[in-house]
Structure 1
Amino acid sequence: MKDSFSTFHPFVNFYYFVVILTFSMIFMHPILQAIALLSAAIYSILLNGRKAMKFNLLYMLPLFLFMAVLNPAFNHEGVTILFYLNNGNPITLESILFGVAAACMFVTVMMWFSCYNSVMTSDKFIYIFGKILPALSLIFSMVLRFVPRYLTQLKVISNAQQCIGRDVSQGSLLSRAKHGITILSIMTTWALENAIETSDSMKSRGYGLPNRTSFSIFRFDSRDKVVLSLLIGLTVIVLLGAFRGENTIRYFPSIKMMEITVYSVLVYISYFLLCTVPVIINMVEAMKWKYIESKI
């Protein structure tokens, strides 16, 4: 499925992920965390399909359970003691809930970053920061694509070595180790040569020079203005809720949070809309496309 949110102006995409990642890292309120986790999971599946679903179930879910169980085993703060371990350390309700909240925050942020990597491509990042911080933006864009690009090149090298009988899965144990060192040496050489070629290429194009102009396909049109205004408005409502204490919770020494009021419900709804903006945009575009098809 094509992601319609990715077609918006890079500044709109970047603003959304900066806000949503910041909120996901600082808000420990269970309702806000549940909204962010569910939204991140749905959007990642919309972007990457079965690959994202497999990643969430095989990696994120076990990581979530592991972190949630690990915290109360070492953190014994809290006044509500449930039971004692064999070594005499208590297991408290507060430590369990805090462990679940911390695990939820960590997993949610990782999911959002996976969505960020799919939406914010290197050309978008360079477009935003190329004139302000040209060298830093280039380095950062190269770092973001480091892992997928190098994994692809590693597969190419491994397949080539396998064709001549020098793969890590062929030969004795000593031969496999030698083959692995050879592949690593080839990979390192390729990485260094690629870095030099990229540096020379960007330098020859005048990248980073004060008066350099560049071609860009991005245009900030009316739909970008509407979505950006919506995002800013929802952000303001959520921030006002944070200043009023609607988005906070205390876990130690006892659990305490604000009572649910009309304004807190408004904050929850605003945060839900903020997190699901990409999903809503995709749904609206899909409905438009179906309507156009029905008229043909």
Structure 2
Amino acid sequence: MRDSFSSFHPLVNFVYYAAVLACSMLFMHPVLQIISLASAAIYSVTLQGMKAIRFQLLYMLPLLLFMAVLNPAFHHAGVTILFYLKSGNPVTLESVLFGAAAACMFITVILWFSCYNAVMTSDKFIYLFGKILPSLSLVFSMTLRFVPRYTAQIRAISRAQRCIGRDATQGSLAMRARNGLTVLSVMATWALENAIETADSMKSRGYGLPNRTSFSIYRFDNRDKAVLSIMTGFIAIVAIGAVMGQAAMRFFPSLKMVEMSPFSIVVYAAYFVLCMLPVIINLAEGLKWKFIESRM
């Protein structure tokens, strides 16, 4: 499925992810955590399809359950005792819920970062911070590319070595070790040569010079202004609610949270719309295209 939110200006994308990641890491309120987790899971599926579903079911769900169970086994604070372990340590309701909240926060941040990597490409990051922090933005951008690029290169080297019978999976144990070292040696040589070529290329293009100009395909148009204004409004509502204690949650020594009120419902609704904003934009664009096709 085409992601319409990715076509917005990099500033809009970055502000969105900065807001949802900050809220996901700071808010321990169960309503806000459920909203953030559900929104991240839905948007991840929108971006990556079945791959995201497999990742969530095979890795994220077991990790969520494991972390939720692990905390009460070692953390025994709280006044509501559920039962005792064989070691004599109590398992409390507060520690169980705190473990579930911490696990939910951890999984939510991972899902949001997976969406961030799919939308905020290296060229967008360099566009935003290249003039402010040219060296740091370049290093960060290159770091994000290292793992997928080096993984693809080492696979290509392994396939080439396999064609001449010198792959790490062929021959005796000593031969496999020798072949594996050969693959790593070739990989290290390629990495060093690639680093030198990249440095020479960036230097010849004048990267980092004060008067250097750069080409950009990004334009901050009226659509970006409208979405950024709406997003800023929802962020302001959520921030005001957090300052007034609507996102607070106490786990120890006993559970305590703010009572539901009309203002808290407004804050929860604003946070829901903020987290689901990319999905809403995608749905709106899909309906728009269907309407245009029906008129043709």
Question: Structure 2 counterpart of 1:129, which letter?
Answer: F
What is the CA distance between 1:281 and its match in structure 2?
A: 0.4
- What is the CA–CA distance in structure 2 between the aligned matches of 1:149 and 1:45, rounded to whole Å? 24
- What is the CA–CA distance in structure 2 between the aligned matches of 1:124 and 1:100, rounded to whole Å? 35
Deviations 1:183-230 (A, max 9, x none): 222222222222221111111100110000111010000000000001
Superposition RMSD on alpha carbons, in Å? 1.0
- What is the CA–CA distance in structure 1 between the aligned matches of 2:196 and 2:59, rounded to whole Å? 35
User: More displaced, 144-153 or 97-106?
Assistant: 144-153
- What is the CA–CA distance in structure 1 between the aligned matches of 2:65 and 2:191, rounded to whole Å? 37
What is the CA distance between 1:74 and its match in structure 2?
A: 0.9
- What is the CA–CA distance in structure 2 between the aligned matches of 1:91 and 1:280, rounded to whole Å? 42
What is the CA distance between 1:117 and its match in structure 2?
A: 0.6
Normalization by structure 1: what TM-score?
0.98
Deviations 1:122-169 (A, max 9, x none): 110000001000000000111112222222112212211221222222
Q: Which residue of 1 aligns with 2:275?
A: 275
- What is the CA–CA distance in structure 1 between the aligned matches of 2:112 and 2:12, rounded to whole Å? 16
Q: Which residue of 1 aligns with 2:168?
A: 168
Deviations 1:21-66 (A, max 9, x none): 0000000111111111111111111111111111111111111111
- What is the CA–CA distance in structure 2 between the aligned matches of 1:178 and 1:55, rounded to whole Å? 35
- What is the CA–CA distance in structure 2 between the aligned matches of 1:215 and 1:155, rounded to whole Å? 33
Please tell me whether residue 264 in structure 1 is matched to residue 264 in structure 2.
Answer: yes
Q: Which residue of 1 aligns with 2:125?
A: 125
Question: Structure 1 counterpart of 2:263, which letter?
Answer: Y
Please tell me whether residue 202 in structure 1 is matched to residue 202 in structure 2.
Answer: yes
Please tell me whether residue 156 in structure 1 is matched to residue 159 in structure 2.
Answer: no
Q: Which residue of 1 aligns with 2:177?
A: 177
- What is the CA–CA distance in structure 2 between the aligned matches of 1:289 and 1:260, rounded to whole Å? 40
Question: Structure 1 counterpart of 2:86, which letter?
Answer: N
- What is the CA–CA distance in structure 2 between the aligned matches of 1:62 and 1:36, rounded to whole Å? 19
- What is the CA–CA distance in structure 1 between the aligned matches of 2:252 and 2:193, rounded to whole Å? 53
Please tell me whether residue 52 in structure 1 is matched to residue 52 in structure 2.
Answer: yes
Provide runs of 4+ in structure 1 moved above 6 Å: none
Question: Structure 2 counterpart of 1:10, which letter?
Answer: P
- What is the CA–CA distance in structure 1 between the aligned matches of 2:119 and 2:289, rounded to whole Å? 21
User: More displaced, 44-53 or 178-187?
Assistant: 178-187
Question: Structure 1 counterpart of 2:161, which letter?
Answer: Q
Q: Which residue of 2 aligns with 1:217?
A: 217
Deviations 1:41-97 (A, max 9, x none): 111111111111111111111111111111111111111111111111111111111
Question: Structure 1 counterpart of 2:256, which letter?
Answer: K
- What is the CA–CA distance in structure 2 between the aligned matches of 1:177 and 1:101, rounded to whole Å? 45
What runs of 5+ residues in structure 1 fail to find an aligned partner?
none
Indicate the SS of the match to 1:181.
helix
